[in-house]
Chains A and B, each alone.
Chain A
Amino acid sequence: AIQMTQSPSSLSASVGDRVIITCRASQDIRNALGWYQQKPGKVPKLLIYAASSLQSGVPSRFSGSGSGTDFILTISSLQPEDFATYYCLQDYSSWHTFGGGTKVEIK
């Protein structure tokens, strides 16, 4: 199975900060990478698909980049409602795997 390694596992940031989360695949997955946000007690929400396509209704401060094995989720200016856990997901292989998650906390 393709392994997805996210970093960092957690970070502290302030409102207005630029936040970068990375995800590395254990093999080339082309652009088959998505990013999901999950708030405590809530259902995961799709933010980015195909590595860099913004899901409808998601604020433009979220962006994704990368291809192959290395991917980045950027939040350009962190807002109070963005404090959550973020997961990457690959579906290049027949078996889909999530990264371990990155918890974004208030500094």
Chain B
Amino acid sequence: DAGITQSPRYKITETGRQVTLMCHQTWSHSYMFWYRQDLGHGLRLIYYSAAADITDKGEVPDGYVVSRSKTENFPLTLESATRSQTSVYFCASSGGEEADTQYFGPGTRLTVL
């Protein structure tokens, strides 16, 4: 009954390093999403995926890369981290019987020094 999990929960890295945030869901939901949440802003969509091997850009995709080789996993990679990418990152999924609703993971708090 894990639902949707994210790892790590907290990460501190340095400018220029590559960082990968993991997201795993056990519901077999078809849709998965990555958001970032910053003070004073609403959640902003980075990338989303409608199914395995299908991904698409959201509102703020620059500097991020995603992949989805398996339905249950949707990793987000920051290829060369910048301070402006310091944020809280949420993964979400939707599908199944309540296809309209997005369910969120616990979040990853990323700090880029």
Q: Do A and B bind each other?
A: no
